[in-house]
Structure 1
Amino acid sequence: MQTRREHEYSLNTITQNTSFRMALGLLSLLYLFISVLLARRKSIQIALKFLAFSFLFTGIISIFIWIALSNSVRQRNQQLAHRRRRRRRRRRRRRRQQGNGNDDPLPTIGDIETRLNYFFSTRSVLNDQPNSTSYTNAVVRLAGTEGDFDDLDYESLLFLDNFVKKKGLKNHQLRRLPVKIYHKKKDLSNDQDMKDSENCMVCLEPFEENDELITLVCFHDFHKSCISKWLELKATCPICNQKILFEQNF
């Protein structure tokens, strides 16, 4: 689609070409008129010589003018092409900036599979399968695939990927979660919750000395790496299902 500037330039080019042709036509008529006068008053040979010389001169001038116009048109077309490329680069840059903001870029099948593998394994451990007909249909469809995906398989992957992503925390939110270092003696003496549970309920492994822990708003503790992966999928506590309202609590 042409911009206003490109449209004006096209009209100017057409006008210049039309004016050039009209000038040549009028000049040819003038030569013919002078040739007729010369033929009547002097001789036909003089008139023919004048006419031949005039058309030869006009042809040479026309060639130079045509070359000049062609160079001008070519330079103008190069300028317009350069502007179009700059507009396309700006549009791509804006789309990339938007993609780095609120709109996530379209994931590849490998990216989706990696997230879903962890998603399925974690949910199966905690027996937290969602009650959704669309979810079940997508899982059933993907259960029989062995790496060869068609369009419907990819749509199912996108559905499950969106199902997971919409409920999790963003990376910048995860980075702001409070982290503490686990010290067994200190925590056992001062923290009643740690006395009741010394295991991470995501990986089911006991806390070790100097482990990095994250305490959620419900005061349940987890390994930092375990709960971060969980919260990327679902913004709730794996034990009590307390919602992590990031804006209010952190």
Structure 2
Amino acid sequence: MALLNRLARGLRRNLVVIAGLATLAFLMLPNVVVTVFSFNKPNGRFNYQWQHFSTDAWTHPCGVADLCGSLSLSLWIALWATVGATLLGTAIAFALARYRFRARSSAGTLVFLPMAMPEVVMAASLATLFLNMGVSFGFWTILIAHITFCLSFVVTAVKARVMSMDPRLEQAAQDLYATPWQTFRKVTLPIAAPGIVAGALLSFALSFDDFIITNFNAGSTVTFPMYVWGSAQRGTPVQINVIGTAMFAIAVLCVLVGQLVGRRPRRS
């Protein structure tokens, strides 16, 4: 009876930790399943049941037609969408956080609308705009659409970082005869860099992963998420699991590297 009481007290004290670990395990479970089935060799077209252990899909990740082509296209779109959204979003964030101008609150509301708007509404709106302008659907319409919805996330991340900055640091640099460009490059930009990097990484992940907005504005262009959706109807190749596992491993590696890099200044 005393042992049960101690267990109950320990459970109550660590309930939040246990709930957090259980939630994390639940979130990681799909990634574990994808990783395990990347080593499967199914007898049929569908990779839903474990049959035989094999590394054929890892040795031939491009063994399925058009798979690596769609993956390369998604990576290029995500890269350019990240560059465009980061440059525009950083400029907008500094403008909203540092300057006073007419319709400043309205501009901020418009910037954050894509985050609150359902994706299907935004996708249909962009598709209607492109149709009315007579623009051919393809790479450029996807890129414009991705920059549009990634912009809000960059602005949010960078603006939060800029608003937490101490303006006296920039004033001190100016008192030491630093030019505006030197102040920005050596003081403002390094302090705002974590927010900029966070917005860029979030933009890349959202752009690479997007399906709804891309499906409305892609035309005959097939990105990797669209390829996965199409292949799921006629048979899922194991190579999709391989690419998914590789992307997950790269994302975890980036997070770990970021954590290690972020600890160095605190230690010094």
**Alignment TM-score > 0.5, same fold:** no
TM-score by length of 1: 0.24
Greater RCO (CA < 8 Å, at least 6 residues apart) = 2
In our comparison, the structure showing a higher alpha carbon Rg is 1
**More helix as a share of residues:** 2
TM-score by length of 2: 0.23
